[in-house]
Structure 1
C-alpha cells in the first residue's frame, strides 16, 4: 500500500505541475524544474518514449538558455502566441475546439466536463471555458489528492479519473499536441506537449494496472 500511496503522490504532482504551466505561470513552472529532479526522472521514463523525448528537449533547451535572463519572457511570449492570442490561436487549449464540428468554445464537451466537476464539488465560472487543458489536468490532480487522503475510496476515485481520461483528455490531447509541436518556437512548449500526451496515455494504462493491485 505504501507503494500505491507514493504512486498516487507522484502522479498528482505531475498533473499539478502540468496544469500550472498551461495556466501560463511559466516562472513557477521553471522554478519547480530547477528545484526538483522531475525532468531527470521523466527523461528516463521507459514506458513512454514521448515522455522521454519531451523531457530531453526541455532539458537541452534549459541548459542552452541557462545564462539567458530573457528565457522566461521568451517562454511566456511563446505561450501567449500558442494558446492565447491576439491573432489566431495556434494550438487552442480547449477540448471543444477539437471535438465539435464548428470548432468553437463552450461546446458539448465543455458542458460535460463542467457537470463532472460539479459532481465532484468543483465549480468553474460560467464565463470561463471549463474544458481548458489546465483545468482538465488540475481536475485530475484534485481528484488524485482525494484518493491520497481517503484510501477507502481509492478505487472509486481512480475509476472517475480513468473515465475522465478516456472520455476527455485522451479524446483530444493527441491532436492538440501535434498543433503545439508544429507551431511552438521553443522546445519547452513542444516538449511539454509531448510529455502531456505521453503522460495521459501511460497514466490511463498504469491506472488500470494499479486498480487491480489495490483490489488484491
Structure 2
C-alpha cells in the first residue's frame, strides 16, 4: 500500500482523457483493494483521510456531482472522525477486529469476499469466476503475491487489476490513443463481466451484517464508484464510436 497520496498532481488538469484522472482512479482502486484484502494500517488510514477530497476530484473530472457517492464518502469521513476522536491507535485495533469478524470467520455471519460465492453456482471448470479472472491477470502480466492466499476472484485482486489498468490508461493517455481505447474496452468488459455481477449482492450482505460498520460503508462506496466507472466508460466509448472529439458532457447515470 502506498504512503499517503499527494493530490497536488491530481487536482489540476481534469478530464476523462487526462493522465491526472487516471491517477485518481488508480489511487481509489488501490485504496479499496487494500481495504478488502488486508487489515487497515497507518498508510491506508492516512489515504482514507483523503477519500473525500479524492472523491470530489474524481467527480469534477466526470463533470459534476454525484450525491450518492458524495454521501457515501461523507459517511465514511464521519466514521473516521469518530474512530480517531480518542487519539492513539485504538481505531486500527477496532478495524482489525471488524475485519476479522466480517471476513475471516466461518458461518452465516461471515461476508464472503469472492465473486464465485455470489454468482451462478453452475459456473464450473474452465468457466469458473476464479479461472476466468486468472486469465485476465495473466493477460495483464500480473502474478499473485505468495503472501496472499485467497482465490483469484477475491475482491481485493479484482480491484487491484482495475488499479493496474488505470495506471496503464494513464500512460496510454499520454502516449497512445489507440492503446487508450483498447484499455477502455478491457476495463468495461471486466467491470460488467465480473465486478458488477456480484458487488451489489456483496454490498447488501455487508449492510445486513453490520449496517453501521466501516466495511458496510466502504462496500456501499465501492458499489457506487463502480457504477460510475461503468457509466463514464460506456459514455466515452460511445463518443469514440460516433467520432465526437468535443469535451465530454456531464455524466448521466440512473
TM-score normalised to structure 2 length = 0.74
Distance of aligned partners of 1:102 and 1:179 in 2 relative to their CA distance in 1, 3 Å threshold:
farther
Q: How large is the RMSD of aligned CA atoms in angstroms?
A: 2.8
Structure of higher RCO (CA pairs closer than 8 Å, 6+ residues apart): 1
Of residues 18, 25, 30 in structure 1, which corresponds to 2:32?
Answer: 18
Return the alpha-carbon distance in structure 2 between the equivalents of residues 86 and 33 of structure 1. Answer: 28
Q: Which moved more, 1:95-104 or 1:191-200?
A: 95-104
| Count of aligned pairs between the two proteins | 213
Q: Is the CA contact 2:22–2:166 (under 8 Å) kept in the aligned structure 1?
A: yes
- Cα deviation, residue 177, structure 1: 0.4
Distance of aligned partners of 1:167 and 1:113 in 2 relative to their CA distance in 1, 3 Å threshold:
same
Return the alpha-carbon distance in structure 2 between the equivalents of residues 114 and 47 of structure 1. Answer: 35
Return the alpha-carbon distance in structure 1 between the equivalents of residues 208 and 234 of structure 2. Answer: 32
Q: Helix, strand or coil for the counterpart of 1:63?
A: helix
- Cα deviation, residue 103, structure 1: 10
- Alignment partner, residue 173 of structure 1: 199
Distance of aligned partners of 1:15 and 1:112 in 2 relative to their CA distance in 1, 3 Å threshold:
same
Question: Is 1:132 equivalent to 2:147 in the alignment?
Answer: no
Matches within 5 A, 1:114-133: 114-124=134-144, 128-133=150-155
- Cα deviation, residue 67, structure 1: 2.7
The structure richer in helix per residue is 1
Return the alpha-carbon distance in structure 2 between the equivalents of residues 158 and 7 of structure 1. Answer: 14
Structure 1: gaps spanning 5 or more residues: none
Q: Helix, strand or coil for the counterpart of 1:26?
A: coil
- Alignment partner, residue 167 of structure 2: 145
Return the alpha-carbon distance in structure 1 between the equivalents of residues 194 and 29 of structure 2. Answer: 15
Return the alpha-carbon distance in structure 2 between the equivalents of residues 175 and 121 of structure 1. Answer: 29
The structure with the larger Rg is: 2
Q: Is the CA contact 1:19–1:135 (under 8 Å) kept in the aligned structure 2?
A: yes
